[in-house]
Amino acid sequence: MLRQIEGSRAVAEAVALCRPEVICAYPITPQTHIVEALGFKVKSGTLRPCEFLNVESEFAAMSVAIGASAAGARTYTATASQGLLYMSEAVYNAAGLGLPIVMTVANRAIGAPINIWNDHSDAMSQRDAGWIQLYAETAQEALDLHLQAFRIAEELSVPVMVCMDGFLLTHAYERAEIPIAEQVDMFLPRYQPRQVLDPAQPASIGAMVGPEAFTEVRYLSHARESRALDLIPDVVAEFGKVFGRDSGGLVRGYHLDDAETVIVALGSVLGTIKDTVDELRADGMRIGVLGVTTFRPFPAQAVCDALAIGRPTKRLVVLERAFATGLGGIVSADLRMALAGDRAAALHPPVMSTVVAGLGGRPITRASLRNMLHDAAAGALEPLSFLDLDKDLVQVQLQAGRAG
């Protein structure tokens, strides 16, 4: 059913349709509306059987999810920002134990200074935790990715983080197609845990592993997570058959065929970028967009296949809503590694620029993007730049610091 709906509510509808058996929640802006809506469904009896636990911290939220998932329940939680960092130890643990938990991360900056608005610092900090990470562009995609997330997680026994931009997607009202239960039931089979805590077949889960086998355990988790690169396109194809929509996937190209300049980005900013690219193309600029939906595992091959490096792509602009302090881009580094293994990129190495943008909720405007992309096309973009940085302000502070 087509509805005008808040992004968080759309996600709550999707999660409820997946029939989770345990939901744990700890409030943190901007994910609260999702668990509020799910709490209402459980308390009113429209979602059952399902246990909704109001826990005392995000660390407990992920820990409850670990226990519930290990006991064979389909399990969901949501968090953001400081909450994701606070549960970080358990985030790694859930992946190590191979538990197919699905978690929404309503992307938000990390303090200090404290900031409740959107960027990707939170999810990026957990990119190597062993979770699959999917980034939504729209409320519809956020909804769809949750349906796919349970499917992917349970098929691989790997947890999945669905990242959606805080406020921009969680609090904005958009038009979204809400599926019906029969469709979801057709798409998402009952959860069959790979290993479960069961008195009839007692197993010890979470034993200590020493140097003699730890590397092998880690290698196997890498191999298992990497299988998502084969699985996700299949899931997307099946999703299309059941729901009649093309949604999710590894990467999504936009006007890549003749693009000399390609801008790479994740999440909701892709909408603004596409609008800007439409304008620039109308002006005659040969420019395209590559949206990365699956960031972990990193779809290196799909990225290389999508980019027409050397024919004619010459320039890559990576727009990032987070960065590695003291280094630069995070997505850029992954992209470089992907291109390092690509024959075309070796012959025609593209010029790559990292643009850090939209930190702590700073709006990424079409005007700023236009100027930046004109600079890029003219070869005038620095390898690392910060969009709309108030250079005067930082200069004053830097000089004051030196004087002190």
Partner 1 sequence: MPYQHVTFHQTGSLAVGGRLLTDDQRSVQSGRRRSNSLTLGHRACQGCGEALGARYALDAVQRATGGQTIAVNATGCLEVFSTPFPETSWQLPWLHSLFGNAPAVASGVAAALKAKGRTDIRVVGQGGDGGTVDIGFACLSGMFERNDDVLYICYDNEAYMNTGVQRSGATPPAARTATTEAVGPEPGNRFGQGKNVPLIAMAHEIPYVATATVADLRDLEAKAERAMEFRGARYLHVLVPCPLGWGSAPKDTIEVARLATQSGVFPVFEAEDGEVVGVSPIRHRVGVRDYLRTQRRYAHLFQPDERTDIIDRIQRGADRNIKRFGLLPAGVQEESAS
At closest approach, how far in Å is the CB of 387 from partner 1?
39
* Cβ partners under 8 Å of residue 223, min gap 6: none
Question: Alpha-carbon distance 207 to 80, whole Å?
Answer: 30
From 61-69, 164-172, 325-333, 352-360, give the range in contact with partner 1 by CB under 8 A.
Answer: 61-69
DSSP string computed for 127-158: TTSS-EEEE-SSHHHHHHHHHHHHHHHHHHT-
For position 45 contacting partner 1 by CB under 8 A, the verdict is: no
> Counting beta carbons within 10 angstroms of the beta carbon of residue 88, is it exposed (0 to 12), middle (13 to 18) or buried (19 or more)?
middle
The residues that bridge with 252 in the sheet, in sequence order, are 291
Question: Alpha-carbon distance 288 to 285, whole Å?
Answer: 9
Q: Residues 50, 129, 142, 266: which binds partner 1 (CB under 8 A)?
A: 50
* Cβ partners under 8 Å of residue 92, min gap 6: 129, 130
For position 211 contacting partner 1 by CB under 8 A, the verdict is: no
Per-residue binding letters, 305-344, with partner 1 (x by CB under 8 A): ----------------------------------------
At closest approach, how far in Å is the CB of 112 from partner 1?
22
For position 215 contacting partner 1 by CB under 8 A, the verdict is: no
Q: Residues 70, 152, 292, 339: which binds partner 1 (CB under 8 A)?
A: 70
Looking at the chain, how many residues does it have?
404
CA diameter of the chain:
71
Question: What residue ranges in 16-89 does DSSP mark as E strands?
Answer: 22-25, 51-54, 75-79
At closest approach, how far in Å is the CB of 90 from partner 1?
6
Q: Residues 29, 40, 82, 93: which binds partner 1 (CB under 8 A)?
A: 93
Q: What would the two tokens of residue 304 be?
A: 């290389």
From 48-56, 156-164, 276-284, 344-352, give the range in contact with partner 1 by CB under 8 A.
Answer: 48-56
Q: Residues 206, 244, 363, 383: which binds partner 1 (CB under 8 A)?
A: 206
Instruction: Tell me the HSE value of 61 on the side-chain side, using a 13 A CA sphere.
Output: 27
For position 209 contacting partner 1 by CB under 8 A, the verdict is: yes
Residues 185-204 that bind partner 1 (CB under 8 A): 197-199, 201-204
Residues that bind partner 1 (CB under 8 A): 21-22, 24, 49-51, 53-57, 59-60, 63-73, 75, 89-90, 93, 97, 197-199, 201-210, 213
